[in-house]
């Protein structure tokens, strides 16, 4: 939901109106017939060695899914910034360690003096619907009032925001803080609507009750049909101030933008108080606790969808918030007593490496700094990604893992790619985009050849994301033309 990766001065949502969503791919050269495996190298090189890529780095590995025979390799054992391809490793480790049926439980416990403790364990799927369920359960239990509502936000320890992330990302909905009590993925939705030419965009909150909590500095404008469109939305790090700039065409559809909340645990409690009030349960005081208590009287509970669904949301929609939750859940899964003051995400990175090493992935083929790919400190080789994809294809979670990936022309971040192609492309792959970075790694079913696994990464490029994606997709179309010779 919050996987926007386009950068600007602040948190950036760039509105690109291409008219036809597959316009980029209409420029691809038409297929000129099948090719032999021996011809593949020269044809891939012809794409990657174009003058516009003279300052870019390519990392590529293409192999049959059934074996480690290399059809094409270019710096495949070197490190590259992978962007959201990190999620392939995070979700693989989570499925291996936690299992597809794992669910995240949020519990409410009764305590003395009419107090209630709500213990969060990082469920990123909680919305008003789940809070209403908790409040209804309490009402059915006969709870008519609460002295103190205490939110236990201590399950995940350490930084809620990765210190390696760029400051634009830390303000955006896709880079929201990760804590134990989360509501609406810790993001606020703004709806930006054009008005008459020359007027500022109309800014409304998807949740009207937030109007009085935030000050909006609106420097946007509505423009004519011949103007470009873009919107930048940012927020102050400490004050409730939102900043909107950019422009949309008069008569265009409204656009949504998301910003991260400042105080996620208190934001959760405020919304839960509203749910309780709707059930006629008043709260005298609500506060956040930074340490847990050993309580056993569970009065109400909700559970997240199974891990198989969380993994699907992570990979298919490239959801950074879900990925970072999965990483922290790995950190909580060790079964060992937690090390005092250890950051849960750091523990998760250690457990991720352990799980993937047990799977058979070379532990020296990647270095991770987060679970989502937002950090530019992440380093992964195409070799590591191909190894992970192949090993997961032979694991008990093979089907769940593979179907969690976007499908070309059909779903997720590949919904609008590979639509106008000479032949249908049967591709399931993970995308990745940062400024100067584009990645695509996954599985492709080749009509006249065997199934392939591949990783294609571009780094240090000064070209637009669209041009990097277009060249990557040309390589995939070459794979689709392979035949046995």
Structure tokens at 295: 């309580």
User: What's the CATH number where 380 sits?
Assistant: 3.40.710.10
By the 10 Å C-beta count (0-12 exposed, 13-18 middle, 19+ buried), 344 is classed as buried
Report if residue 203 sits inside a domain. Answer: yes
**Structure confidence by residue, pLDDT tens digits, 93-117:** 999 999 999 999 999 999 878 899 9
Report if residue 415 sits inside a domain. Answer: yes
Q: Phi/psi of residue 159, each to 5°? A: -70, 130
**Structure confidence by residue, pLDDT tens digits, 261-270:** 989 999 999 9
By the 10 Å C-beta count (0-12 exposed, 13-18 middle, 19+ buried), 45 is classed as middle
* CA–CA distance, 132 with 350 (Å, rounded to integer): 37
Structure tokens at 371: 């679970």
> Directed axis angle between helix 86-98 and helix 307-316, to 10°?
180
- The region of weakest confidence among 151-155, 182-186, 209-213, 464-468 is 209-213
Report if residue 366 sits inside a domain. Answer: yes
pLDDT for 258 beyond 80: yes
- Average pLDDT, integer, range 370-394: 98
Range of the domain at 382: 16-100+308-483
**Structure confidence by residue, pLDDT tens digits, 307-326:** 999 999 999 999 999 999 99
User: What's the CATH number where 269 sits?
Assistant: 3.50.80.20
- Average pLDDT, integer, range 202-206: 95
- Predicted local confidence at residue 184, as pLDDT: 97
Name the E strands within 339-414: 366-367, 379-380
Q: Phi/psi of residue 33, each to 5°? A: 110, 170
Q: CA torsion sign, 375 to 376 to 378 to 384?
A: positive
How much is the pTM? 0.91
**Structure confidence by residue, pLDDT tens digits, 312-366:** 999 999 999 999 999 999 999 987 766 667 899 999 999 999 999 999 999 999 9
Q: Are 382 and 332 in a shared domain?
A: yes
Closest CA to 102 of 359, 305, 314, 325: 305
pLDDT for 23 beyond 90: no
* CA–CA distance, 372 with 434 (Å, rounded to integer): 12
Give the DSSP per-residue string, 251-272: TPPPEEEEEE-S-HHHHHHHHH
Tell me if residue 407 falls in helix, strand or coil. strand
pLDDT for 31 beyond 70: no
- Predicted local confidence at residue 340, as pLDDT: 67
Last residue of a domain, one of 248, 271, 304: 304
Last residue of a domain, one of 285, 304, 323: 304
pLDDT for 21 beyond 80: no
- Average pLDDT, integer, range 257-262: 91
**Structure confidence by residue, pLDDT tens digits, 38-52:** 999 999 999 999 999
Q: CA torsion sign, 283 to 285 to 288 to 290?
A: negative
Q: Kindly report the number of other CB atoms within 10 A of residue 375's CB atom.
A: 21
């Amino acid at each position: 939901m919050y996987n926007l990766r386009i950068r600007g001065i602040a948190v950036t949502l760039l509105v690109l109106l291409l008219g036809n969503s597959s316009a980029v791919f209409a420029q691809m050269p038409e297929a000129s017939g099948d090719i032999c495996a021996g011809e593949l190298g020269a044809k891939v090189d012809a794409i990657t060695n174009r003058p516009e890529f003279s300052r870019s780095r390519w990392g590529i590995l293409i192999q049959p899914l059934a074996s480690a025979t290399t059809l094409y390799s270019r710096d495949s054992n070197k490190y590259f910034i992978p962007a959201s391809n990190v999620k392939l490793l995070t979700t693989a480790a989570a499925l291996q360690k936690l299992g597809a049926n794992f669910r995240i439980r949020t519990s409410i416990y009764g305590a003395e003096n009419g107090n209630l403790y709500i213990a969060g364990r990082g469920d990123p799927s909680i919305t008003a619907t789940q809070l209403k369920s908790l409040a209804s359960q309490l009402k059915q239990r006969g709870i008519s009032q609460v002295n103190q509502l205490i939110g236990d936000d201590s399950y995940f320890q350490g930084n809620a925001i990765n210190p390696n992330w760029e400051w634009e990302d830390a303000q955006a909905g896709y880079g929201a803080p990760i804590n134990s009590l989360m509501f609406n993925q810790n993001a606020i939705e703004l709806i930006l609507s054009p008005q008459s030419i020359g007027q500022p965009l109309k800014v409304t909150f998807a949740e009207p009750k937030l109007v009085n909590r935030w000050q909006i500095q609106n420097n946007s404008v509505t423009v004519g049909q011949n103007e470009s469109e873009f919107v930048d939305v940012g927020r102050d790090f400490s004050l409730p101030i939102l900043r909107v700039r950019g422009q949309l065409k008069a008569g265009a559809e409204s656009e949504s933008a998301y910003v991260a909340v400042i105080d996620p645990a208190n934001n959760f409690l405020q919304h839960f108080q509203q749910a309780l009030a709707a059930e006629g349960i008043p709260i005298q005081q609500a506060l956040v606790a930074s340490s847990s208590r050993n309580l056993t009287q569970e009065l109400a509970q909700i559970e997240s969808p199974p891990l198989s669904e969380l993994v699907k949301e992570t990979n298919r929609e490239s959801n950074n918030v879900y990925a970072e939750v999965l990483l922290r859940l790995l950190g909580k899964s060790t079964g060992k007593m937690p090390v005092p003051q250890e950051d849960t995400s750091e523990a998760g990175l250690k457990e991720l490496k352990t799980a993937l090493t047990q799977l058979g992935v070379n532990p020296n083929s990647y270095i991770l700094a987060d679970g989502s790919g937002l950090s530019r400190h992440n380093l992964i080789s195409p070799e590591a990604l191909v190894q992970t994809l192949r090993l997961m294809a032979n694991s008990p979670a093979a089907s769940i893992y593979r179907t969690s990936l976007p499908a070309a022309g059909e779903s997720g971040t590949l919904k609008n790619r590979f639509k106008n192609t000479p032949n249908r492309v049967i591709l399931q792959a993970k995308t990745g985009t940062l400024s100067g970075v584009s990645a695509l790694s996954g599985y492709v079913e080749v009509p006249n050849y065997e199934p392939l696994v591949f990783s294609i990464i571009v780094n240090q490029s000064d070209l637009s994301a669209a041009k990097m994606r277009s060249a990557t997709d040309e390589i995939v179309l070459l794979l689709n033309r392979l035949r046995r010779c």
